[in-house]
Amino acid sequence: MNDTRKLAKYLAGLGYGSRKEMEVAIRRGRVTGWGEEVRFDGEPLDPAPGMVLMLHKPAGYTCSHQDQGRLVYDLLPPRFLKRDPKISSIGRLDADTTGLILFTDDGALLHRLISPKSDIPKTYEATLARPLEGHEAALFSSGTLVLRGEDKPCLPATLEVTGERIARLTLTEGRYHQVRRMFAAAGNHVETLHRASFGSLVLGDLTEGEWRLLTPEERARLG
């Protein structure tokens, strides 16, 4: 990428600044490695468009660009929010839910993964207000559970009981507050909720508030 204008446009698209600012940065020598590995202020460039990253979302953060209060985007480098195409979360977790959430600037991938046809399993760990009664697994797997205010049954979901008030629920849908509403329909209340996995992806040793880019292999498995 030896053309100054093209490089300035590319850097602006990555969020480093406006095109004019990038042209000035190039003239001042802040951009090095032309023809090889381009660096900005001595650091490797951010990923090219099409990146996907994973965040371990803490409680109290909203998955929105515009809401008041703490936003999940506050946990990412400010430069990422200036990228063009824009970076967005792949689906949402409510403010009180913790765990794995993905972000991308690939619009086609985003829409493919949030489509009702995607069938990607997502596993949640729920702590409940009251002990499980034993009927929940059959109810959730039946494909007949209709949530309040809806007329279409939930797709079958798998429940694994791991404690008196703790369970793992795996589903392939992403309806509004679905896990909480499913347990409410079963006569219980979710006190804490954590997304443990998205497809084959797990958080691993990623701590709350931390993020990392997906590897090419992980990215390829998303489709």
Count of Cβ atoms closer than 10 Å to residue 19 Cβ:
15
Question: Mean pLDDT, to the nearest integer, of 107-111?
Answer: 95
Closest Cα to residue 100, out of 203, 187, 213, 26?
203
Overall pTM surpassing 0.85 (yes/no): yes
pLDDT at 181 > cutoff 70:
yes
Domains and CATH numbers, the chain: 4-44 (no CATH), 52-116+204-222 (3.30.70.580), 122-198 (3.30.70.1560)
What are the pLDDT digits (tens) for 115-146?
Answer: 988 999 999 999 999 999 999 999 999 999 99
Mean pLDDT of the chain: 95
Q: What is the pLDDT of residue 68?
A: 84
The answer, yes or no, to whether residue 223 has pLDDT greater than 80, is no
> Rounded mean pLDDT of 207-213?
97
pLDDT in tens, 30-89: 999 977 889 999 999 999 999 999 999 999 999 998 888 999 999 999 999 999 999 999
Known catalytic residues? 94
pLDDT of res. 27: 94
Higher per-residue confidence, 14 vs 223:
14
Q: Which of 45, 44, 4 is nearest to 27 (CA)?
A: 4
